[in-house]
Amino acid sequence: MENGSVNSSISNGIATITFGHPQSNSLPGEILRALANEIRSVGSSMEVRVIILKSIGEKTFCAGASFDELIAIKDLEQGKKFFSGFANVINACRKCPKFIIGRIQGRAVGGGVGLAATVDYCFAMNNAEVKLSELAVGIGPFVVGPAVARKIGLSAMSELAINATEWRSAEWAKEKGLYSEIFNETEEMDAAILTLSEKLANSNPQAMSNLKKIFWEGTENWDNLLIERAEISGKLVLSDFTISAINQFKKK
């Protein structure tokens, strides 16, 4: 994969999916497609009981959409296809019969916040600030919005979406329910992730699958809803306002 990667490994019933990109683990379309496919593949494996989702490096967890790819979108079909990539990842996580544990080692922006909201249990470092920056570049968190609102509520999601240039602390994210636990040391976080993963790997897979269905009740329309939201973003990204705003952000 050009300038990025998605890999997975399985050990003792625990699957670890790792994605990465040189630009602060941003998410171009190719990585989004690979990530959705990997989640589906690993989730269907009889060998897997629980999944850990993480990114490479020690700093940013995920910078969200790739600005280079956004600025290259030239028509509605391209725009819809790109933003559908986020929809496909969210829906892959939602329909995966295995619990997904998130490892958030640093800041999460836009689609990165969407990933944190879509996993079933989220561990984070105390510097893992969050921001939904989409409105600041003329779009809006239309695709990830349902996942974020489901996890932290409409009020907190709208706070992030409206004040799109301000970071919220990891403590804020934990208070709102985005993060389950936060840590001061990476080693401490990884030990806690391993402990929970091992417990789940030895739990009843059918019970966990049934629980996950209950946790995600009311989202059965997301296959269509998130694609409709992708079309909204796909239209907005073509506007002169958005093109100018993205170019300004790229200069920073």
Using DSSP, state whether 57 is helix, strand or coil. coil
pLDDT in tens, 166-215: 999 999 999 999 999 999 999 999 999 999 999 999 999 999 999 999 99
219 vs 197: CA distance, rounded Å:
25
Using DSSP, state whether 137 is helix, strand or coil. helix
Q: Are 117 and 174 in contact (CB under 8 A)?
A: no
The pLDDT assigned to 252 comes to 67
Split at pLDDT 50, 70, 90, the class of 1 is: low
Task: Report the number of distinct structural domains present in the chain.
Answer: 1
pLDDT in tens, 128-172: 999 999 999 999 999 999 999 999 999 999 999 999 999 999 999
Q: Is residue 138 part of a domain?
A: yes
Tell me the DSSP string of 32-54.
HHHHHHHHHHHHT-TT-SEEEEE
Q: Is residue 19 part of a domain?
A: yes
Q: Is residue 156 part of a domain?
A: yes
Range of the domain at 79: 5-188
Q: Is residue 240 part of a domain?
A: no
Q: Is residue 79 part of a domain?
A: yes
Using DSSP, state whether 11 is helix, strand or coil. strand
Q: Is residue 172 part of a domain?
A: yes
Q: Is residue 160 part of a domain?
A: yes
Using DSSP, state whether 145 is helix, strand or coil. helix
pLDDT in tens, 210-232: 999 999 999 999 999 999 999 99
CATH code of residue 162: 3.90.226.10
Q: Are 149 and 157 in contact (CB under 8 A)?
A: yes
Against a cut of 0.75, is the pTM above it? yes
Q: Is residue 56 part of a domain?
A: yes
Tell me the DSSP string of 169-230.
-HHHHHHHTS-SEEESSHHHHHHHHHHHHHHHHTS-HHHHHHHHHHHTTT-TTHHHHHHHHH
Q: How many CB atoms lie within 10 A of CB 11?
A: 10
Split at pLDDT 50, 70, 90, the class of 249 is: confident
138 vs 223: CA distance, rounded Å:
25
